[in-house]
Amino acid sequence: MKLLFKQRFFSWFDSYDIYDEQGNVVFTVEGKLSWGHCLHILDAVGNHVGTVKERVLTFLPKFEIYLGAQYIGCIQKELTFFRPRFIVDCNGWQVDGSFWEWDYEVRAISGAPVARITKELFNWTDTYVIDVERSEDALCVLMLVLAIDAEKCSRNNH
């Protein structure tokens, strides 16, 4: 399953549209006013399905993830040199990024591929192609992409 993740051009807060391969909106993401990033994920008909919330005042970036209102775990950046790495504590996924931080691979503890994330260059806004192995993992992978993008945005603003 492929998803196209596009940041909206004009928005006061972070907002994104996520499209399927046919160009249909699958999810929308709306940033909310908060200390740190707080991103609400809505399905195609507007139902709230998840939240990614930055935990502030931590040594390394950490993001709490919620399915609906239920806390399921967090995404944390590891201290690494040259290549970014994130750990997802709720499902044992590991996310390894390229040196330029444009491409990411998501793998299970067993080493099995979960998803591949590629940033498209030369767009006015952040745009990613998300290739998910299993469609039931799409929402969790989307939350990873949101956390990675928010971490990069926070780092670039400081």
Give the 3-state secondary structure of residue 128: strand
Question: In this predicted model, what pLDDT tens digit does every residue of 139-149 receive, in sequence order?
Answer: 999 999 999 88
Per the prediction, the chain carries an average pLDDT of: 89
Query: Rounded CA gap, 63 and 86, in Å?
Result: 10
Write out pLDDT tens, residues 65-104: 999 999 999 999 888 888 888 989 989 899 999 987 889 9
Phi (first) and psi of residue 14, to 5 degrees: -55, 130
The CATH fold assigned to 2-156 is Porin (2.40.160)
Counts of helices then strands in the chain (DSSP H, E):
1, 12
